[in-house]
Structure 1
Amino acid sequence: MTEVPGFPTSSASSPYTDLDRPPLRQSALRRALLGAGELWREIEVVDALESTNTELARRAHAGAPEGSVLVAEHQTAGRGRLNRSFQTPPRAALTFSVLVRPGPHPTSYGWLPLLMGSAAVAALDRVAGVRARLKWPNDVLLDERKLAGILSEAVTETGGSVAIVVGMGLNVSQTAEELPSAAATSLAHAEAGCLDRDPLLRAVLRGFAERYGQWQRAGGDAEACGLAAEYRQQCATIGRDVHVHLPDQSLRTGVATDIDAEGRLVLQSHDAHGAGGQIPLTAGDVVHVRPDERTG
């Protein structure tokens, strides 16, 4: 592992040993994931970073290749939606970002974080033996608690081309005391069958690369290549009563009925008079409303 200049190392701040929370091995990840015909071109594991998304976006401006993967053993100021920050204990989570340059179908870029979510759900089922679900657009849930968050950001490069950085923070070995709230969980807290971050990371990256390749070959049409159907099957938001807090601070309520061709949430909204319409939402913080909360 390496340390990025300007960021602290993590070893001194962790009470856990390498046996308790083993470090990721950069060389092993490279041997397993880099190669001809693969999406991944570079994988770097660093001791600590404020945010893998921020650093990889900076590297994109500097010419980092598509297929770059940046992993932090300790993320000290991770960023979620609406610029919310969070910190993960050293080696307790998978915190990483990937860089892609998807080409000439920008209206479907909203599918990229959804594809990462689908890859995570499949990896968790196969490697850890847990049946996670997705909350549109950026959360992985386990028993209705947040297990992972995903953040996708566009980077406009020199000449006007666009790169996309997709980051994920997946809680692995955090104890109940280390979780940020009662609404969060970890694989350890859920007594999952595997807490080894290495095979989990490999499975997520392979799953995303496979889905990204399918999506690219279909010209960004997630419906045509079957990825939209997969996402709908994994998504716990569809069919639910929801409150959606939009970026402009307004609130929409209604029933989430579908995910459309651009990866947007389709909301059957209700106004004050009980009438409504189908509204596609590009972004927002979704709250799943339990049946006993509907009248409220």
Structure 2
Amino acid sequence: MSKKIICLFDVDGTLTEPQQPISPRFEKFLLETVKKEFDIAVIGGSDLNKIQKQLGSGNLFEKYKYVFAENGLIAFKNGKALPSQMIQDILGEDSLQDFINFILRYISELKLPFKRGTFIEFRTGMLNISPVGRNCSKKEREQFYEYDNEHHIREKFIQVLKKEFPDLGLTYSIGGQISFDVYPIGCDKTYCLRHIQGYDEIHFFGDKTAEGGNDYEIYESDLTIGHRVTCPKDTMNQLNVLITLIKENREKEQLNIPLQCV
């Protein structure tokens, strides 16, 4: 019997360029080619509104079997909302405010080539921290990304937070070009896997799969088959290879079915 397979996709850098909409060509490929072979699902660290903006017009929940926002802390199956968790309930308000106040002080003393607005984005199950501010233009995002690659602003920031708050039970992961996520231990992208049931294989596709990246834990999970990608074009290429392999295996299975005498 053929295996039941689902393909689970990161958004930024995997289905889309960072913070950009999915290309019509790629979306057509997903919905008309990949979806004929497997169920498909998406998981992003961003909130649901951002994911909806990036993944095209129309009903997101009709396109994807599962939709996971904020690492799966916001979850939908067939358009139906699943239980969620709030970061303030996990950490407690006093600890959360101490943490936020420290971040704001640190950023206020940080000297960068430029700064823009929205340095902390408060989400349901996590915080997104941007030293340069999430209100950057596309050009400014790219400039900061190059600057950060040289000066390691985000990495140093995370090390300071780990030292200052060792007992809060937090995980830090760098994703995208200008920010990093902070969430309670266990609330990384593997959190979504508790909702995915009834499959023989879960194939995960992500670009930030190195340790410290926000795809690392789910890529390394024993519950998934990980695919490291470099861009949407690479994702498409790897999907074509996967489809070919699965079809070949199905053909072999059919050839090996013993004939029955009637």
Q: Which TM-score applies when normalising by structure 2? A: 0.28
Q: Which TM-score applies when normalising by structure 1? A: 0.26
Higher helix share: 2
- Higher-Rg member (1/2): 2
